[in-house]
Amino acid sequence: MARDLVLADGTVFTGEALGADIEHIGELVFNTGMSGYQETLTDQSYNGQIIVFTYPLIGNAGINRDDFETITPTVQGVVVREAATVTGNWRSEMTLDEYLKEVGVPGIQGVDTRALTKKIRTAGTMKAMLVDHADSAALARLQTTQLPTNQVSTSATPMPFPVPGTGKKVVVVDFGFKQSILRELTKRDCNVIVVPPTTTAAQIAHLDPDGVMLSNGPGDPKSVDYALPMIREIEQKMPLFGICLGHQLFALANGADTFKMKFGHRGFNHPVREIATGRIDFTSQNHGYAVSPDSIDQTRLLITHEEINDHTVEGLRHKEYAAFSVQFHPDANPGPHDANHLFDDFMDMMTTFQQQRKEVATHA
């Protein structure tokens, strides 16, 4: 069955229907990863977006029960050059097409994804829709539709829940977290408590954690301004580590600014330089907003990492408090694990903070 991808500027790409038979509207973005499509589709940071995969064949390893980043995907659509109909992995339980039908996500295949990606790079991300037949009425619906700005509220947990461990107690503030973050923490024996994005600093302090992590998540960080007072208070009391959206919120809470990028960073091959050492890590990234470097000078933050290609801010550290953040995903699922050591740095930071607190108590 034929299906059309309609862009807000009136451009139409015609291909073959994939996944659910439903009309969806979302922000059209592209991902350059050569693998990890299941993790990408279930990453809450893609909430409300239609993903164009630049790799020409998607779905050859099927879908399995182990590689989900969340149970319920919030993507609005999938665009591929070719969707594999035969899977070649022993863990596979269904094809990509079967999975998209099951979770109610529409898709399209057989389109020129290279031309589509070049268009996004030139014009920037834009609204798009998947529809069975493109006509003037469909274009009018697309152009008049306002995309939602409450993605975090539809991605994050509404209630706290524990992930028990025997080691350090870490509170993860959920803005749309990935399971891979929890896996990295539990791998280090952390006793994790996941809390909603609206949790206050007093509520977090009542849990008496050794450290706090601000998770990744979707959308414009300025729409999550309700979390900024919590961050400002928590960073003064205990170690804090922000990832992706958590990085942007950490910046905003400390007086920096953020901006919407033309087409963002979405892929697993982004080189990042650690400024102090010159070390270069290849990183997994998924974001459409970034911290403005010009806004850092007026804050008590220090830029620790930068993206080599466009020099965007990729890491920050507070000059006074035990708090830092990175724009990329050190959990890297999928992607390279070059920056995985940052979880160990967070563990060391919590240990040092505990020792310093004991010394202060001893001399008090």
- Joined together, the tokens standing for residue 221 give 């960080």
What would the pLDDT profile of 218-234 be if each residue is shown by its tens digit? 999 999 999 999 999 99
What phi, psi does 3 have (nearest 5°)? -150, 150
Residue 260: beta bridge partners? 289
Residue 205 has pLDDT above 90, yes or no: yes
The residue to which tokens 């790409």 are assigned: 13
Quick check: is 190 catalytic?
Answer: no
Alpha helices in 54-172 (DSSP H): 96-103, 113-123, 136-144
State residue 352's pLDDT score: 96
Residue 45 marked in a binding site: yes
**Rounded mean pLDDT, 70-93:** 95
| Strand, coil or helix: 58 | strand
**Cβ of 214: how many Cβ atoms within 10 Å?**
31
- Joined together, the tokens standing for residue 271 give 């080189």
Q: Contacts from 200-207 at CB under 8 Å and sequence distance 24+? A: 200/230, 201/229, 201/230, 201/233, 201/234, 201/237, 204/171, 204/173, 204/230, 204/234, 205/234, 205/237, 207/169, 207/171
Quick check: is 310 catalytic?
Answer: no
Residue 288 marked in a binding site: yes
Least confident of 3-7, 149-153, 277-281, 355-359: 355-359
Residue 286 marked in a binding site: yes
Residue ranges with strand state E in 8-62:
12-19, 24-31, 49-53, 57-58
Q: Give the separation between CA 103 and CA 60, rounded to whole angstroms.
A: 19
Residue 217 marked in a binding site: yes
Quick check: is 244 catalytic?
Answer: yes
Q: Give the separation between CA 2 and CA 256, rounded to whole angstroms.
A: 47
Q: Give the separation between CA 174 and CA 203, rounded to whole angstroms.
A: 14
Residue 100 marked in a binding site: no
Domains, the chain, with CATH or none: 2-144 (3.50.30.20), 152-363 (3.40.50.880)
State residue 364's pLDDT score: 64
Q: What is the percent of the chain where pLDDT is above 90? A: 94
Residue 48 marked in a binding site: no
Q: Give the separation between CA 24 and CA 159, rounded to whole angstroms.
A: 29
Least confident of 158-172, 183-197, 323-337: 323-337
Q: Which of 24, 265, 270, 329 is catalytic?
A: 329
Name the average pLDDT for the chain: 96
Closest CA to 252 of 228, 279, 288: 228
State residue 241's pLDDT score: 98
* pTM of the entire predicted model: 0.96
Q: Which of 244, 270, 281, 318 is catalytic?
A: 244
**Rounded mean pLDDT, 8-12:** 97
Q: Which amino acid appears at position 266 of this protein? A: R
State residue 308's pLDDT score: 97
